[in-house]
Structure 1
């Protein structure tokens, strides 16, 4: 991945072997404070285990550094509100590297939603066949925050909030997994029903232990339907006839380059920063409700989600 508008000034990792994957001469630090003092960056990418995100991000934002951060927005809903307040207090700029928000076909699908008429139902599926992770931080709830729903499923939940807004009620169940690891303290698979004030109903299935990888979102309205997946978007009218097909071909490096280029172009835009923060709070509120429903084996109603008010949160308040 290359970007002409960025000069890489350093990396920070507990594993010194990462130096072998960087251009010659780029320093590698094992301590965030030492890295910041030596390099004085204007932007930073945070791609570390989830439980380390907040402390690193706080150090950067309080120093005026723009942050491009891996998902999730936070480890839990309480930390999400702390992060939102920090961004507000420091007038900070933070965006998440949720690649579907930067994908042309997923953007085109969102723009086509009004053509479907009144939305009736949707189904979101995302499953992987991951390597054993029971002995890694991803298998530990305290470090990862969650499994199929918060970790890989964050991409799907972020997309759902972006497309449809916040549901008023959710019901989630844990689906049996297959790893059998005694050290695993997160869910491997989960399913849920989401209900909206408009009457829209959504179904989601998220899993890290299936035989293959699959990701898709299908939406049906009174006037037609659409399906979007990585690389392709299809739309049909209400008779089922295909009316539009859009495709997108990009490598993982190309996708990363688009995220980085878009981030640079938006740096300093306060409205984008607020919208990103609000969506992060909404996704974390949705995730929290799903986990509450899963543990309590009951439907959970979602409260309204707002930004801190001092920088115009009321203007971007999320409807439940």
Structure 2
């Protein structure tokens, strides 16, 4: 019996790490190695070569060279937002699966093109969003129906950074957006999972962009965003706030329904009755890396699952469409104001 299981066991995937010398890339290296063999790394950073030597895989400055020299099954991509689309299109043209940091894409047009390229190549493009593998958010998804018809949600997610944003996230050319595209992507993905809208009708969103630092205002990179959502087909409404410079780091999702409520924080999710009585509770056991480990292993194990791939692509397309729509509305408002003032 043991011999049969060994015979049927899938071989370990071979992974190319693209952007591995950055903060997120270095965080993923030990977790990826638990489930796959890292057979090469691409990063032009000065420290990348020594880091690759430390981990024992060949290093390449440019992706094209790695594609010519390395045999791999999937690429794990952790690069600045501006590089996501060109890197992913090059990998898909090579016939490679892609597992990538968020965002799936920056604009709806890019997202639709990635979906087309992935389907044409019969390859997956899977986005790393750990809340989908976190027990407290899984509890919320599984128990949403128990609160009846949801009619209101509030979702807050804040950092408490004491200093202005630094690195590529402080560059308009590389970040392509502020906290909405960066931190907010996770939250809008959670909302898209809880409250999927019938295509092609996305939620209606009113936004307020705020700047903690003058330099971020000058670069049009919002430090705080406040959103009001309404879902035409269901009557659901809600608010979302994201910022980098709050007085404390916090995350809190609350959903009110006709028969109860759900409260979710990183440590626990609680199902409440209409009167507020706690009915059931799920705690977040273990460190955050447990969800990341589960996420990466799951994606690596489902690269060839077309049903999983298609559902993931459609959900990410909805997330990008919502965020891109918010940014386009803000740009239109800014242009109209400039025309009035001219």
- TM-score, normalised with respect to structure 1: 0.86
Q: What CA distance in whole angstroms lies between the structure 2 residues aligned with 1:199 and 1:253?
A: 37
CA contact (8 A) 2:80 2:174 kept: yes
Match of residue 188 from structure 1: 223
Match of residue 292 from structure 1: 328
Return the offset for 1:26: 1.6
State the Cα deviation string for residues 111-131 of structure 1 (Å, max 9, x = none).
111000011100011111246
Q: What CA distance in whole angstroms lies between the structure 2 residues aligned with 1:132 and 1:225?
A: 36
Match of residue 149 from structure 1: 180
Match of residue 250 from structure 1: 286
Match of residue 275 from structure 2: 239
The answer to whether the aligner puts 1:276 opposite 2:312 as a matched pair is yes
Q: What CA distance in whole angstroms lies between the structure 1 residues aligned with 2:259 and 2:288?
A: 35
Q: What CA distance in whole angstroms lies between the structure 2 residues aligned with 1:19 and 1:192?
A: 43
Q: What CA distance in whole angstroms lies between the structure 1 residues aligned with 2:148 and 2:285?
A: 29
State the Cα deviation string for residues 290-319 of structure 1 (Å, max 9, x = none).
223434559xxxxxxxxxxxxxxxxxxxxx
Q: What CA distance in whole angstroms lies between the structure 2 residues aligned with 1:140 and 1:13?
A: 19
Match of residue 298 from structure 2: 262
Question: Secondary structure, in 3 states, of the residue corresponding to 2:36?
Answer: coil
Match of residue 124 from structure 1: 155
Match of residue 44 from structure 2: 14
The answer to whether the aligner puts 1:36 opposite 2:67 as a matched pair is yes
Match of residue 264 from structure 2: 228
Q: What CA distance in whole angstroms lies between the structure 1 residues aligned with 2:114 and 2:70?
A: 24
Q: What CA distance in whole angstroms lies between the structure 2 residues aligned with 1:20 and 1:255?
A: 29
The answer to whether the aligner puts 1:169 opposite 2:199 as a matched pair is no
State the Cα deviation string for residues 239-284 of structure 1 (Å, max 9, x = none).
1101111112333433321111111221101111111111111011
Q: What CA distance in whole angstroms lies between the structure 2 residues aligned with 1:218 and 1:24?
A: 42
Q: What CA distance in whole angstroms lies between the structure 1 residues aligned with 2:167 and 2:158?
A: 19
State the Cα deviation string for residues 79-130 of structure 1 (Å, max 9, x = none).
1121111112211211100111121221111111100001110001111124
Task: Name the count of aligned residue pairs.
Answer: 297
Match of residue 16 from structure 2: none
- TM-score, normalised with respect to structure 2: 0.81
CA contact (8 A) 2:184 2:242 kept: yes
Q: Which of these residues, 227, 250, 253, is aligned with residue 217 of structure 1?
A: 253
Question: Secondary structure, in 3 states, of the residue corresponding to 1:85?
Answer: helix
CA contact (8 A) 1:193 1:204 kept: yes
Return the offset for 1:161: 0.8
Q: What CA distance in whole angstroms lies between the structure 2 residues aligned with 1:19 and 1:245?
A: 47
CA gap 1:59/1:292 in 2 versus in 1, 3 angstroms: closer
Match of residue 213 from structure 2: 179
Q: Radius of gyration: which is bigger?
A: 2
State the Cα deviation string for residues 29-88 of structure 1 (Å, max 9, x = none).
111111222222111100000111111111212222111100001122221121111112
State the Cα deviation string for residues 150-174 of structure 1 (Å, max 9, x = none).
1111000111111112344211111
CA gap 1:288/1:4 in 2 versus in 1, 3 angstroms: closer
Return the offset for 1:20: 4.4
Question: Secondary structure, in 3 states, of the residue corresponding to 2:174?
Answer: helix
- What is the RMSD computed on CA atoms of the aligned residues? 2.0
Question: Secondary structure, in 3 states, of the residue corresponding to 1:57?
Answer: helix
